[in-house]
Amino acid sequence: MSGLAQVMRAGGCAVSGIDAVQTSLTDTLNARDISVGLDTPNAVLPDDHDLVIVSAAVRHDHPIVLQANERGIPVLNYAEALGRAMSGRTGVAIAGTHGKSTTTAMLGCILTDAGLDPSVIVGATCHQLQHGCQSAAPQPGVGFRVGSLAINQGPQAGEPGLLLAEACEFNRSFHNLNPTIAAIGQIEADHLDIYGSLDAVVEAFAGFAQRVRPADQGGRLLIAHDGAHRGVVASGLRCAVETIGFSPSADWVMSYDTTTRRVTLAHEGSSIAWINRMPGEHNAVNAATAAALALMLGADPVSVEASLAAFAGLDRRMQLVGERAVPGGGAVRVYDDYGHHPTEIEATLRALRQAERPEVSGGRLICVFQPHQHSRTRFLMEEFATSFEHADIVIVPQIYFVRDTHEEKSRVSSADLVDRLRSRQVRAMHLHPFGAIVEQLENLCRAGDLLVVMGAGPVWQVARGFLETEQT
């Protein structure tokens, strides 16, 4: 919402808003001529406003929404408003079950370094997003960037300015977008409380692909060669379609060396290469996708290589948040990660074990994982149970309760997941609250251990709590 507010303000709109609490982000918005007040039961919609945009957290009976309805003022959700904002820009939308935030941020940084000055809205904080990876200027972490209203160079010079954003499949919200260029990564079963089946998820992605502009208007889709159900998703499209993947038959062919983290990307007889700072094959795929899109948009290949080699990552995406000394010498390295889908969990744990190799020094990989949504946990229980093979110890707090009904909440618990993990000989335990987990980690962790805190909910507090608590 904050990124969208910035983009709309840059486009000439007068923007104000309310939020539940005052934060550094609301302070930033206020400093940039976007007045943000605190929400109250008596919130009043100003007389001179023409449009109300609400996040998914806002109820239909909120006073502002009710006042807008009474006065005949349109009320849009975030995805609807993003679609309208994108319609006046050269829209670039990144879709797929995994990697949307990372790929979008990578692409935003590449295009910034290449001088294409994009606007970017990404669902995570990136410290390099404002000024690019090559800048030495102080870079506060943000989830948005406001760029030019027109593309200033390259083959699309003079076209409406670039607007990059994630295309989220939840509740089919990406059906509100009409991008010029889009990317679709791997498609897997998720949000089954909305879709009910993988077939319905694939059908929704096919509907999104249909919304990419026709080829004669510059419309292009970059889709994963494998894992994106492209036989269904890319069937009958009016836009140009290219594939990317490890297969030699892909249009954009990539390779990745897990030891050196070297990524190569070849297309029509030319190739580029760089060393990824973020480990893991999944991050190599994200980077190659961002590189291909950047080259489509006219970025210089040398600039693409340099930008990706310097990209340091996003908050809560395999983020090293610190080390904590332990009695007797040595330390525990602590990572924080947003992963909440089985495939993300497996990929992150595998990448960190390959990169850190804690077993070499007698350490272990300890994972604190907070399941996100009861429905996701129930639908994907068996997939979750097999996704922790690279962890030595798994601690599971209570499931983060969001969006589900109380009936759904009663159908599954963290203890169910722990039982499944134990049945697969994974050392697992259920603990609550977060303070009890921090205390357990203080007793459990030893020199050389790698602690990974994972989940889309507030489980990041465990990592911070462990780092901030002194050992005696």
Mean pLDDT of the chain: 91
470 pLDDT exceeds 60? Answer: no
Least confident span in 40-44, 92-96, 253-257, 390-394? 40-44
Alpha helices in 246-395 (DSSP H): 281-296, 301-310, 342-356, 374-379, 381-385
Q: What is the pLDDT of residue 225?
A: 97
Task: Check residue 416 and give its pLDDT.
Answer: 93
In this model, does residue 105 exceed pLDDT 70?
yes
What digits encode the pLDDT tens for the residues 117-170?
999 999 888 888 888 887 766 566 677 888 888 898 888 888 999 999 999 998
472 pLDDT higher than 50: no
For residue 335, the cross-strand partners are 320, 452
More confident position, 401 or 248: 248
The reported pLDDT for the residue numbered 140 is 67
Alpha helices in 57-191 (DSSP H): 63-71, 78-87, 100-113
Tell me the sheet residues that pair with 263. Answer: 256, 274
Q: How many Cβ atoms sit within 10 Å of the Cβ of residue 245?
A: 22
Return the pLDDT at 471. 47
Instruction: Identify the H or E element spanning 124.
Output: strand 119-126
For residues 43-68, give the mean pLDDT.
Answer: 91
Burial class of 332 by CB neighbour count within 10 A (0 to 12, 13 to 18, 19+) = buried
Peptide bond into 433 cis (omega under 30): yes
Domains and their CATH numbers in the chain: 2-73 (3.40.50), 81-310 (3.40.1190.10), 319-468 (3.90.190.20)
Q: Residue 454, CB half-sphere, CA atoms under 13 Å: how many? A: 29
Query: Could you give the C-alpha distances from 109 to 153, 162, 314, in angstroms and in order?
Result: 16, 13, 12
CA angle 172, 175, 180 (to 5 degrees): 140
Q: In this model, does residue 408 exceed pLDDT 50? A: yes
Residue 211 · residue 82 · CB < 8 Å: no
pLDDT tens-place string over residues 364-394: 999 999 999 898 899 889 999 999 999 999 9
- pLDDT tens digit sequence for 115-126: 999 999 998 888
pTM across the whole model: 0.84
Do β-strands 393-396 and 365-369 pair in parallel, antiparallel, or remain unpaired?
parallel
pLDDT tens column, 42-54: 889 988 899 999 9
* Cis preceding-peptide flag for 41 (omega within 30 of 0): no
Burial (Cβ within 10 Å: 0-12, 13-18, ≥19) of residue 347: buried
CA distances from 309 to 4, 142, 273, 285, 313 (A): 29, 20, 9, 14, 11
293-321 tens-digit pLDDT: 999 999 999 999 999 999 988 888 888 88
Which two tokens mark 412? Answer: 């599954």
CA distance 39 to 37: 7
In this structure, the dihedral spanned by the alpha carbons of residues 309, 310, 316 and 317, taken in order and rounded to 10 degrees, is 0
